[in-house]
Amino acid sequence: MEKENYLYLMCNPDKWFGEKHLDNYKTNDILYNLSSHAWSVSHLKNIHIGMLGILKVSRDDRAIDLLKKHNVAKLESGIYATFEVIDFIPDRIDGKVTIKIVDNFFHQNRILNKEKTKEILGDKYNAQSQGYIHKSIYDLVYENVQAITYIDLPKLRKNLIVQEAVEVYPRDEEEKREALILAKYKCELEENHMTFTSNATSENYVEGHHLIPISQYVHFDNDVDVRANIVSLCPTCHRMLHYGEKEEVHNALSALYSKRINRLKKVNLDISLEKLHTYYKSNEVCKN
């Protein structure tokens, strides 16, 4: 019989800061940006560092007036993230487990809704707020999340802004941050290129690179500063695209282009591989 060696934790949106607390409207932002958190657990002893698990959000009972006041939407019940245990302090009744988020489905716009979560968890959906699950359930979560297609939407080209008396094309740091999250902080040219742990993200350090350089925005009616056009690269591969020899840059661009062309088309950035290569003939052109 398969062991229940994975963890199952639940978040109640109305209890993050205390039951009915007026700051509970902040739960949305906290979950959206959640990277690690200490969780109280009751009567759970078989927890170990490195243990994996899933985070489910329960029914959102926060007052409608509170949410409207802060322009916050009710959270749908479902599976919002997977995590890894990085610390555990057991106690006779209540212990404390510290988790590090592995994949934040909420941030990726890929949560598993109530119906799908019920289907995956079965009897455990209503039976417990925390406990253990089989590996098969954990794997099933990923199978269902991977079946959700991330939606790329086109955006109109932004207006120039003035910085230090110079007109520049504005960048959205959130677009870059989410592009790196979607890439799982891996180099999209070579996944095994590991660098170091970033102080900002607590993940493998990678950099965002605009495949169609920002400097070429004038050739497009739509925004080039979007996730579909931002690739995740280790620092070495990133510098290579800017300063490498022609053949190596050509091969790298071809590989990235084949991975991104469909997403680029969805955001109305239709470009041929040949045209993309012309943007990289000069290091001055492709600085971004």
pLDDT for the residue 285:
46
pLDDT for the residue 284:
46
For 36: left if phi > 0, alpha if psi spans -120 to 50, otherwise beta; the answer is: beta
pLDDT for the residue 232:
96
Domains of the chain with CATH codes? 6-146 (3.10.590.10), 161-278 (no CATH)
Residues in the chain with pLDDT values less than 70: 1-3, 127-128, 149-150, 282-288
Among 19, 20, 47, 17, smallest CA distance to 130 is for 47
Write phi, then psi, for 182 (nearest 5 degrees).
-60, -30
Residue whose entry in the numeric block shows the structure tokens 């469909």: 262
| β-pairing verdict for 6-11 and 36-42 | unpaired
| 168-190 pLDDT, tens digit each | 999 999 899 889 988 889 999 99
Quote the CA–CA distance of 180 and 206 in Å, as a whole number. 8
- pTM comes to 0.56
The Cα angle at residue 34 between residues 41 and 4, in degrees rounded to 5:
40
